[in-house]
Structure 1
């Protein structure tokens, strides 16, 4: 579909909701767009919508599951969920999952306590964690992403402007830095990071001397996101690392972006990671989508 032809296609009006995930107040955490659709259009249209929204992620949900896919819990609401940055479709996204689930549980299934989501990473589920506030919100279950030890690349070190003590390869490149202050003060060369053969770069350090067990930041220029405010999929990689080091299954992490966000983590048998956070709805409207009939 090109721009010229889209002018002549009939439009269908669908809801679009913007939600701050992992936020204890408005304008914190990570904003995601959530768009429930009657069915799946062409991938090109989904990518164009995500580029138009220009948030780090747009979450699209459809009630119909793919042929042959059955929900693990009959009777529990189940949806097909996909995530798009302004540039690509991704395999796993935490904050947009939390945002989509908060919309479904609050606005579509107010009597339900759980929603099931079929994704590129298999079945995920999100539960109500309480009545909101700093100890409420929603808890989502993600697969723990394994990390493999890798060499510290001098190109990455120069681009970050800080030395790492360790490096790992997972869904992203993960660099462990000396302390939280170093993570907070980084001003990396995003153009160099965008040229790396990886989805993104996570920098992390222990939270010694603070209320947090660990801190992090995430840079994903290659995925169309210079710096993500709060990255659930990054926590799925680094929470098991910090849990192993601390001997604690439950930890609190903080992403030190300009907006900032707190994520309560629970590592389950080293294979799953439960992430809990609040969601604050910023806006709700409609979008006239061409070609969606």
Structure 2
């Protein structure tokens, strides 16, 4: 979003990369034919035991549980299971993790997989489109789908399409950004 504003306001030429110094290191954003592409380190997930209350707080009876450095990943059997989730956010907020992503293979041939991301412990019941979650989803889905370039759909109420690429230990995420409101701060 910050890179989008820099390009949209003419503070940075579209052919110039936007570079941000973050806690994870240098983040580079590029502008490519109306798409913004970001390059992140992958955060793979490993099989893990389900913490008490995880599945029930999501309203699920079953799911395969994985844990990345920051989040839980819950793989479910189909897209409707992802779309119809009605989490108990109070209970979900008690899970010790930055967030919880739920994912399944997409029924829509336009997308490879679908997901939702919840982070009530961080004050965000459901995030509309989550780049950091796709840094875990990319290395999880790539071997299962047999491809390194994928198209994902995050099925929040707002929803969003993410172009996902995995190369070695890096994840490239691409999408479009739109300005939904502008304002001014006065000191």
Report the TM-score range of the alignment, normalised by the length of the smaller protein: over 0.9
Change (3 A) 1:140 1:111: closer
TM-score (norm 2): 0.93
Aligned residues of 1:164 and 1:175 also touching (Cα < 8 A): no
Aligned residues of 2:51 and 2:95 also touching (Cα < 8 A): no
Q: Which gives a bigger RCO, structure 1 or 2 (Cα 8 Å, sep 6+)?
A: 1
Q: Matches of 2:14 and 2:87 in 1, distance apart?
A: 46
Q: 1:277 maps to which residue?
A: 175
Displacement of 1:129 in angstroms is: 1.5
User: Structure 1, residues 176-195: CA drift from partner, whole Å, max 9, x if none?
Assistant: 01111100000011111101
User: Structure 1, residues 45-95: CA drift from partner, whole Å, max 9, x if none?
Assistant: xxxxxxxxxxxxxxxxxxxxxxxxxxxxxxxxxxxxxxxxxxxxxxxxxxx
Residue-pair matches, total:
185
Structure possessing the higher radius of gyration over alpha carbons = 1
1:129 aligns with 2:32: yes
Q: 1:221 maps to which residue?
A: 120
TM-score (norm 1): 0.61
Q: 1:169 maps to which residue?
A: 67
Q: Matches of 2:128 and 2:59 in 1, distance apart?
A: 20
Displacement of 1:111 in angstroms is: 5.0
Of 240, 246, 253, 2:139 maps to: 240
**Aligned runs of 1:113-192 on 2, under 5 Å?**
113-130=16-33, 132=34, 137-153=35-51, 155-170=53-68, 171-192=70-91
Aligned residues of 2:135 and 2:171 also touching (Cα < 8 A): yes
Displacement of 1:230 in angstroms is: 0.8
Displacement of 1:155 in angstroms is: 1.5
